[in-house]
Amino acid sequence: MSDLIDTIRPLAKKTDSKILMVVLDGVGGLPLTVNGETELASAQTPHLDALAQESQLGLAELVGAGITPGSGPGHLSLFGYDPLKYVVGRGALSAVGIGVRLGAGDVAVRGNFASLGAGRVIVDRRAGRPSDEKNVEVVAKLRAAIPEILGTPVEIYTESEHRFVVVFRSGGVDEAGQGLGANISDVDPQVTGVPPLTAEASDPTSARTAELVNAFVARAEAALAEEPQVNGVLFRGYSDVPHFPSFADIYGLRAACIASYPMYKGLASLVGMEVLPVEGEEDALEGKVAALTEHWENYDFFYFHIKKTDSTGEDGDFAAKVKKVELFDALLPRLRALNPDVLCIVGDHSTPSKLASHSWHPVPLLIQSRYGRKDLAARYTEEEAQRGSLGLRRGTEIMPLLMANALKLQKYGA
């Protein structure tokens, strides 16, 4: 069965047990050389190693064989939502994550600031990862230059670093129940050395939105022409208002999200998790541990997100990704000290430094509970996970496994 939600919902039962799901974003990797090790295997991780020796391991395919997951589909799969059925663009996730409310007929778009060279050729898809302060400065320029396009109000928001969000406000839906459509091709070609693409609509309702997007790109480049590095914009992830079954309704869980990046908070919010406030920078991680500790008694399920294992992989920086894994390893004893009944460590996709991008490779999965059988693993690595008793799983099977290990599922059938 591709979608387990209808099976799990009537079986879920409330107990006092607690589940902690740690998502090491993009943790899966590849060796740089034929006989080398992945970033995860290269890292010095004594605490992860000790945990692996008490756990079951396996690999998870978040969407399907050979399919490279985006962060949204990857996370939806981890939360038990079939990403082929429950589809949402990154624009809506980012918008909701920063507190922007979308109305019927509106379209939200995820943007990257980029560096463009001669002939509008993309030199850097992330504009050198500008600071959040620089992002705010550039967004202010765009707001002044593009308050509306063709009579359609335009709202522009800072997300973080090179990321920003644009919302095209339709003013509601027409008599036929239609507003702006979101079926539009990407402006971002996801490679350098070529110009940005032209957005094209795949249905009549989206034709006006494509026109708005293309006009925005042109006006943004004009407004940012004097910027030395942040002088272009790239779009992908168009979306209107999504509607998902409630996480609490499916699993009977009081669920909380601990994340810093808006997109991940937006996704958690869309499925009905409560997004907890987190203080401090992403790299420090202290704010996340503090939030988890402070709210530990108030929730049954915690989604705990670590971003930089992905960012460093996207930058193609093998050594930096190794260090981010080691930073998490140093943090792990503080998570374990809370004594979760079930602890899961997994990725939402692989981001090998060798590819400097997301990839199709399955992610290593670890589940530790007092009712789980132990594997003979020595470490939490891709190679050890490949030999683990959990085998190769679909991402949507992880939540049922966590629920079972937490004794939160009743028997199925007589």
Asked if the model's pLDDT at residue 282 lies above 80, the reply is: no
Please check whether the domain covering 5-87+244-405 is classified as CATH 3.40.720.10. Answer: yes
pTM of the predicted model, to two decimals? 0.78
Q: What percentage of the chain carries pLDDT values higher than 90?
A: 77
Average pLDDT over residues 367-393: 94
* The pLDDT of residue 174 is above 50: no
Give just the sign of the alpha carbon dihedral 185, 81, 38, 129.
Answer: positive
> Residue 283 has what pLDDT?
65
- Is the confidence at residue 145, as pLDDT, over 80? yes
Q: Does domain 94-239 have CATH number 1.10.260?
A: no
Q: What is the pLDDT of residue 367?
A: 98
Alpha-carbon gap, residue 70 to 241, rounded angstroms: 19
76 phi/psi in degrees, rounded to 5? -55, -40
Q: What is the identity of the amino acid at 278?
A: V
Res. 47: pLDDT tops 70 = yes
What is the CA angle 141-144-148, rounded to 5?
125
Residues 343-359: tens digit of each pLDDT: 999 999 999 999 999 99
**Cross-strand bridge partners of residue 345:** 22, 366
pLDDT of residue 2: 46
Residue 113's beta-bridge partner residues?
Answer: 233
Which amino acid appears at position 103 of this protein? Answer: G
Residue 52, pLDDT above cutoff 80: yes
Question: For residue 357, what are the CA distances in angstroms to 108, 191, 317, 400?
Answer: 24, 10, 11, 29
Cβ–Cβ under 8 Å, residues 340 and 16: no
Q: How confident is the model at residue 178 (pLDDT cuts 50, 70, 90)?
A: low
What's the pLDDT tens digit per position in 246-281?
999 999 999 999 998 888 988 898 888 999 999 876
Give the SS3 label for residue 253.
coil
How high is the pLDDT of residue 37? 96
Q: Please report which confidence band the pLDDT of residue 87 belongs to, taking 50, 70 and 90 as the band edges.
A: confident
If you average pLDDT over every residue of the chain, what do you get? Answer: 92
The residue ranges of every structural domain in the chain are: 5-87+244-405, 94-239
pLDDT of 162 strictly over 70? yes
Structure tokens at 14: 């409330």
| Alpha carbon distances (Å) from 166 to 23, 73, 102, 106, 215 | 27, 21, 11, 11, 13
Confidence at residue 91, expressed as pLDDT on a 0 to 100 scale: 84
Q: Strands across the sheet with 363-369, in order?
A: 274-275, 255-258, 301-306, 19-24, 342-346, 363-369, 56-61, 391-394
pLDDT at 1 over 50: no
Coil/strand/helix, residue 213: helix
Strands 163-168, 107-116: pairing kind: antiparallel
Q: What is the model's pLDDT at position 339?
A: 97
Whole-Å CA distances, 410 to 9, 96, 338, 403, 405: 10, 34, 26, 10, 12
Helix (H) or strand (E) holding 19: strand 19-24
Mean pLDDT calculated for residue range 82-111: 84
Residue 116 has pLDDT above 80, yes or no: yes
pLDDT band of residue 176 (cuts 50, 70, 90) is: very low
Rounded Cα–Cα distance for residues 405 and 7 (Å): 17
Quick: pLDDT tens for 286-298.
899 999 999 999 9
Between these two residues, 356 and 414, which has the higher pLDDT value?
356
What local confidence, expressed as pLDDT, does residue 89 receive?
77
Predicted confidence at residue 175, as pLDDT, reads: 45
Instruction: Report the pLDDT value the prediction gives residue 124, as an integer from 0 to 100.
Output: 95
Q: What is the DSSP string of 268-321?
A: HHHTTPEEPP--S-TTT-HHHHHHHHHTGGG-SEEEEEE-HHHHHHHTT-HHHH
